Structures are given as C-alpha cells and as structure tokens.
Amino acid sequence: MPGTTHSTPEPPLPTAQPGDTRAESPDDADAQQWHIAGVLVHTQPASLDAVRGAIAGLAGAEIHAASDAGKLVVTLEAPTSRAIAAHLTFLHQLDGVLAATLVYQHNEDACDMDTEIVDESHSPGLY
C-alpha cells in the first residue's frame, strides 16, 4: 500500500539439533568473515508487491531488479553463512514465493572489505 512501511523481523538463526555443538557458538571460520549471496526469487505475480516489501524490510537484503512476471534479483549480506541460510529460509517461507534460488555466494575477510583493490592490468581509457 502506498505510504505503508514494511518492517519484517529478522529470521531466526537455525536452532541446534541434539549433539550439534556448531549452532551453540559462532563458527571460528565465520568469525571474521562477511558473506554475500545472490538470489533469484520467483513469486506469484499477484504477490510481487508484498514480497518486495518483505525483502525491503530485511536487513542486509537489496533488490537489484524485478519483473512484472514475479522474478526478483536480490543480494543478501551477512556476517555468517548461517545467517545467509536463515535469510534464504525466510524468503522460501514468504507467502507467494514459488522459489528462492541461491545463484552465487562469496565470503571475504571482514577486514578486507575496507581495502581498495587496485587493478594493475587496467589500461586507462579502455573499458
């Protein structure tokens, strides 16, 4: 609805299964990482606006493109792979979502996210 702001709660992180100590503490490998995922979300066309609103209210999510046919190109950013998985689960469970497909995932050391990358093979004026 015009003028309505959407506030979507963060999806809960997956809970521990019996004997699974990994979910009780953060992954050491994830502790200093930043994760970026590309997701294709396919919705029923009639649900497109509601799904867009829910995604817009999700911290770390950005919609880059959308079609009237109900397809959205979304990126997710989060500090852990578990948070990315929780966001994907959240997307799958939205009313009107037919599929939320992970098409790309990458992680970097968090400290490297502020480092400028110099392309030494770059030829000025050629793009």
CATH of span 33-107: 3.30.70.920
Beta strand pairing status for 71-78 and 33-43?
antiparallel
How far is Cα 67 from Cα 55, in angstroms, rounded to an integer? Answer: 15
Q: Which pLDDT does position 126 carry in this prediction?
A: 52
H helical segments located in the chain: 48-56, 81-93
How far is Cα 81 from Cα 35, in angstroms, rounded to an integer? Answer: 6
Task: Dump pLDDT digits (tens) for 28-87.
Answer: 454 588 899 999 999 999 999 999 999 999 999 999 999 999 999 999 999 999 999 999
Domain positions in the chain are 33-107
pLDDT at 23 over 70: no
Letter string b/e over residues 87-103, b meaning 16 or more CB atoms within 10 A of that residue's CB: bbebbeebebbeebeee
